């Protein structure tokens, strides 16, 4: 285990089981749709890579880069789009937004409206992890890997100051890593 990790919340095997379960639900719901998985960079890259490998339904992929966080562990409250989805066929696409974790809910609440406004045929959301106790805006994802308590987690794409995204599990950082 990485020296900076205090506790493993979801092992590599547990992540695989979680993602297999989500893939079966998506297969069931998108059988006759034009599924476009929309990866929210950078945190969702590992989750989406694993999810797409497990899907049986055909899918296309696309990317957006959206941030509501600065360098630390608190949300700024502002949503900044630095890479947008640009496709002329958006009105025929059933978009499934793939997110790493929901905290305040601001990012996905904003993005869902943004994509519908932009003309997407349908928009649903899928998150690896969810911290319902942290909500600032009312938002519920359509597919949720697992709910967690109010803990700052890293790994499987999730970072602290751009580090630890490469860990193959989801873990809680040791307090001293935060500079304490």
Instruction: Give the CA-trace dihedral at 68, 116, 83, 38, to 10 degrees.
Output: 90
- Is 50 near ligand IMP (CB under 6 A)? no
Confirm or reject binding of residue 172 to ligand IMP (CB under 6 A).
Answer: no
Rule CB under 6 A: is residue 114 a binding residue for ligand IMP?
Answer: no
Minimum Å distance from CB 45 to Mg ion? 10
Task: State yes or no: residue 127 binds ligand IMP (CB under 6 A).
Answer: no
Place of tokens 């919340």: 9
Contacts within 8 Å (CB) and 24+ apart, 158-167: 158/43, 158/100, 158/101, 158/129, 159/42, 159/43, 160/73, 161/71, 161/72, 164/2, 164/4, 165/42, 165/43, 165/45, 165/46, 167/2, 167/5
Q: Which residues pair with 75 in a beta bridge?
A: 69
146, interface contact from Mg ion, ligand IMP, none, CB < 5-8 Å by kind: none
Supply the minimum distance, in Å, between the C-beta of residue 6 and Mg ion. Answer: 22
Residue 113 Cβ vs ligand IMP, minimum distance, rounded to whole Å: 13
Whether 103 is catalytic:
yes
Stretch that binds ligand IMP, among 7-15, 56-64, 88-96, 105-113 (CB under 6 A): 105-113
Stretch that binds ligand IMP, among 7-15, 16-24, 26-34, 96-104 (CB under 6 A): 96-104
Answer yes or no whether residue 130 interacts with ligand IMP by CB under 6 A. Answer: no
- Tell me the pairing of strands 35-41 and 170-173: unpaired
Near ligand IMP by CB under 6 A: residue from 16, 54, 62, 68: 68
Q: What angle do CA 120, 121, 125 make, to 5 degrees?
A: 75
Q: DSSP assignment, residue 44?
A: T
Provide the binding-site residues for Mg ion, judged by CB under 5 A.
Answer: 43
Q: How far is the CB of 146 from ligand IMP (least distance, A)?
A: 13
| Eight-class DSSP state of 156 | T
Q: Does 153 bind ligand IMP (CB under 6 A)?
A: yes
Q: List active site positions.
A: 103
């Amino acid at each position: 285990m990485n020296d900076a990790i205090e506790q493993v919340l979801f092992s590599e095997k547990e992540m695989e089981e979680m993602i297999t379960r989500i893939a079966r639900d998506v297969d069931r719901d998108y059988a006759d749709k034009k599924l476009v998985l929309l990866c929210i960079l950078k945190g969702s890259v590992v989750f989406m890579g694993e999810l797409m490998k497990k899907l049986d339904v055909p899918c296309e992929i696309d990317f957006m880069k959206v941030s509501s966080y600065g360098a630390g562990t608190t949300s700024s409250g502002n949503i900044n789009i630095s890479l947008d989805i640009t496709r002329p066929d958006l009105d025929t696409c059933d978009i499934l937004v793939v997110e790493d974790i929901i905290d305040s809910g601001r990012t996905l609440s904003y993005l869902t409206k943004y994509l519908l406004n932009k003309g997407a045929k349908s928009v649903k959301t899928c998150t690896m992890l969810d911290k319902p106790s942290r909500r600032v805006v009312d938002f519920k994802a359509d597919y949720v890997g697992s709910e967690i308590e109010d803990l700052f987690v890293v790994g499987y794409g999730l970072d602290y100051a751009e580090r630890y995204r490469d860990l193959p599990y989801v873990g809680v950082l040791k307090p001293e890593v935060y500079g304490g």
